[in-house]
Chains A and B, each alone.
Chain A
Amino acid sequence: MIVAEVKPMAEIQDTIKKYSKVLISGCGSCVTVCLSGGAQQVEVLASSLRTAAKSQGQQLEVGQETQLRQCDPMFIEQIRDKAAGYEAILSMGCGAGVQTMAETLGNIPVYPALDTVFFGGADGQGGFMETCAACGQCILSRTGGICPVARCAKSLTDGPCGGAQAGNCEVSKDTRCAWQLIYVRLVRLGQVHLLKETTPPKARRVHPARLNRAE
């Protein structure tokens, strides 16, 4: 899942300050699951912006809409007519959603209301943790299912840096050392020998990556 968080209110307000008619568009997929850009967040942001504008004596009309998946042009097409009635769109989708919307609608400016922060999974109620860096060359088969690229502060792929204390990362005391976790997991799986294997250097990713599954 793509995890995102709502931008600071001041930044959002600054982004749309020159408009008087804005449509907030949420996404019903990843950002709903990570409690950032679903239907509920859309109406909270809409109400907040209207309240702020009213308290400052400004005219601001805020519409709201949530698509099932903002990163697909076919869902964006469904709101084309509605979007035409607004000066700007504030997307509560991830970065991919914002771009798909901007690309599809073309002549209406689309601004992000979220910061897309990582790929990750659920970590208790309201919590999410980065677990994947989308590096394109997965080594989880050799690391006990724990990704050092995403979870090691230094993204080391061939063992720990040595700076960990009591199993915690030297960069952040709140973070477990990924290589400590990998070691414990491999012991439990009876696969410690995998640590002897070295990881070949990763090919540098060329952006933007493309994938065609139709062939």
Chain B
Amino acid sequence: MKINAMPPCQAKCPIHMDVQGYVAAIARGDVQEADRIIRRTNPFPSVCGRICTRECESVCRRGKSVDEPVAIRALKRFASDSASVGSEVPGPETRFSEKVCIVGAGPAGLTAAHDLALMGYHVTVYESEDEPGGMLTRGIPRYRLPLDLVRSEVDRIRSLGVEIKTGYMLGRDISLQDLQKDFDAVFLGMGSEKSTCPECSGMELSGVWTAVEFLKDVSRGKKFNPGNKVIVIGGGHTAIDAARTCLRLGAKDVTIAYRRTIDEMPAGMDEVEDAREEGVRFEFLTAPEAFEGSGKVEKMRCVRMDLDKSCGGKGKLTCVEDSAFEMEADTIILATGYAPRTEAVQELCTEGGDRLEIKDAAGSTRTPGVFAGGDFVSGPTTVVQAIASGRKAADAVHRYLRGMDQSPEEQEKVLEDLDDDVARLVPEAGRQKPVCLNPGSRVHSFDEVEHVFTPEQARAEEARCLHCSLGAHVSQDCAVCLNCVLVCPYNVPRPGEEKAVIDMSQCQACGICAGQCPASAIDLRLESRTELRQNIRRVLEKAESSSHGEFNFAYVCDFSKFRPGDVQGENVYTINRPGLGRIDVYELLVPFEAGAREVLVSGCGEDDCKFKDCSLWTRRNVQKAARILESIGMDPERLKIVEG
């Protein structure tokens, strides 16, 4: 969908995912198409459908102005879980002779490999571990992200012709110089897995772990007994993952100690809540000083912190005097920060430093043809940031190999907020919540905690999308009758100097104005008149040719609880549409012209319709069309409206 200003969900997403596109496809009941739309920009839909940090939802205009944000991540998971496995992966249209090497098979590297393979390059990926996937396979616990899903996504990437070689570590098994000789371009995406630990005595004690090593061992199936009491130090996603994993390994008393407060925790609030539900305790404003024990850790000595938030940023931390106290622990897990391992690429680092020197947004390094990205450059971020970096890297490598200039950084124009006067007219609708395993029972296994939406939940949730920027626009055919100004339930159209003006940022895409425009000058971006009419013609032609003149026809609203298959009866041909408000009188009559016996209009009814007054205008149009039928000697009862 080509639009002038991006809806906030798409603009905020690091990969500018076409959220509206796949939500609309789900609304049409076409999960295959939804999955295809997602895969255009994201090779890991099932992953992001589960663990994405949902930046899109944080800016959703429904959430900001009406009630709660649309559950975009859960809808993505619904689409990806519902789409049939092994749906076709389109191959490249062109083949290039150049070979590209990717180092690191995490989400950044694999995304770059995926995109470059689709562009037509031969891609080889080197991975130091014995399985590709990076943090997806060895960092995220199985109760959040089942391993087979990651493997399935990796297999799809392999099926594009990408060769993945595991057990090759840069600096140990292969060198950058050799890769530069053997390949035309190199992308370094080795992640950020070197733990940075606080300066505490007792780090050498048995029972003190870094979170990365701990989670990696658990994911490999290593038997691990954390004992009864566990302290996890840190406030990010990994700290929460480590704490919840310890509960599943049998720990009875798990505490997360974080030196700041809950407000500064990098982990999402929903994760904190999930952990709390499972029994994880939190000690805020707590910092470790020493780990103590004889051979094996037995306790942590720590101090209380004071956080001065007045100085801006995350605030200034100071130790509270005489606040030292002790906490007993059988296991201590440090989740306090991660840095990239740059030892093998020292020639690309800043002088005397351990950070890669990156020359531009494309991830170009000092050496032409060598690019870097993902957590390896940025430090630990999120999976979707890594995917975005991989996509950017693929584009950069392609431009380098084809002798093109690197893409300039573009600032997307974002749709403005919904006006309060419009927002208060939008019917409220509660956000659907996926079913989760009971906290009491789920801590005894690594079974996935969150379930996928049921089809009914997905239907209710997709109907909550406000279709930002996909509303009505006015063509030059406008006769400036201003009927649109009078019929719009949200008071969006205004008289302009030459024609009526409909503010794209405020229009709710109900289509009522389009259905009532006497000049047929208003159309919807959500579904154009041309698309709709073609669809009607196609279905009517099919009905005429296969039913020998005896058929019924139905318009079914995408947002109602009905689906085309729900309309019972023989020889029923249906069209599902995003809203019925824009179905005009002609569109109600034209099936009769084709010979339909009955025409059914199926929607939600006034109380349940997502669009204000849509039901009212639909009924009016049906009444008008029925009067016309009567005037030409046909039974008006042949046109029916069903709501509810």
Contacts and interface: CB of A to CB of B under 8 A. Distances in A.
B539 interface: no
B589 A40 contact: no
Given A40-B520, A44-B585, A48-B589, A124 B486 contact: yes
A10 B631 contact: yes
Give the interface centre of A8, A48, A54 by most chain B CB atoms within 10 Å.
Answer: A48
B582 to A, nearest CB: 12
Interface string A11-55: 001000000000000001100111110111101100111111011
A48 B628 contact: yes
A106 to B, nearest CB: 28
Interface stretch (B182-190, B355-363, B590-598): B590-598
B517 interface: yes
A186 B586 CA distance: 47
Contact of A39 (B518, B590, B592, B628): B518
Given A32-B479, A52-B633, A38 B590 contact: no
Contacts of B595: 54
A122 interface: yes
A41 B518 contact: yes
Contacts of A50: 593
Interface string B493-524: 00000000000000000000000011111000
A33 B520 contact: no
Given A35-B481, A50-B593, A40 B631 contact: no
Contacts of B32: none
**Interface size band for A:** 20 to 34
B479 A38 contact: yes
B486 A40 contact: no
Contacts of A44: 584-586, 589, 628
A10 B593 CA distance: 18
A37 to B, nearest CB: 8
Interface string B576-604: 00000000111001101101000000000
B634 interface: yes
B494 to A, nearest CB: 16
B265 interface: no
B482 A122 contact: yes
A175 to B, nearest CB: 22
Contacts of B483: 35, 125-126
B404 interface: no
A9 interface: yes
Contacts of A41: 518
Contacts of B199: none
Interface in B453-506: 477, 479-483, 486-487
B210 to A, nearest CB: 69
Interface of A, secondary structure class, is: helix
Contacts of B589: 44, 47-48, 51
Contacts of A56: 633
B632 interface: yes
Contact of B586 (A36, A43, A55, A126): A43
A39 B517 CA distance: 9
Given A40-B586, A124-B486, A54 B518 contact: no
Interface of B, secondary structure class, is: loop
B632 A125 contact: no
Interface in B538-592: 584-586, 589-590, 592
Contacts of B592: 51
Contacts of B631: 8-10, 48
Given A40-B520, A47-B589, A55 B477 contact: no
B487 A39 contact: no
Interface in B346-373: none
A32 B593 contact: no
A194 B332 CA distance: 97
Contacts of A32: 479, 481, 518-519
Contacts of B486: 124-126
A28 B479 contact: yes
Contact of A29 (B479, B520, B632, B634): B479
Contacts of A126: 483, 486
A125 B628 CA distance: 21
A57 to B, nearest CB: 12
Nearest to A36: B518
B590 A47 contact: yes
A33 B632 contact: no
B487 A40 contact: no
B532 to A, nearest CB: 13
Contacts of B482: 122
A52 B632 contact: yes
Given A33-B479, A44-B586, A38 B519 contact: yes
Contacts of B480: 33
18 contacts: A9-B631, A10-B631, A34-B481, A38-B479, A38-B481, A38-B520, A39-B520, A40-B519, A40-B520, A43-B520, A47-B586, A47-B589, A51-B593, A51-B632, A55-B632, A55-B634, A124-B486, A125-B487
Interface of A: 8-10, 13, 28-29, 32-36, 38-41, 43-44, 47-52, 54-56, 122, 124-126
The 10 closest A-B pairs by CB, nearest first: A125-B486, A52-B632, A38-B518, A9-B631, A33-B481, A32-B479, A39-B520, A51-B593, A43-B586, A47-B589
Given A35-B518, A51-B593, 8 more contacts: A28-B477, A33-B481, A39-B477, A40-B519, A40-B585, A47-B590, A52-B634, A122-B482
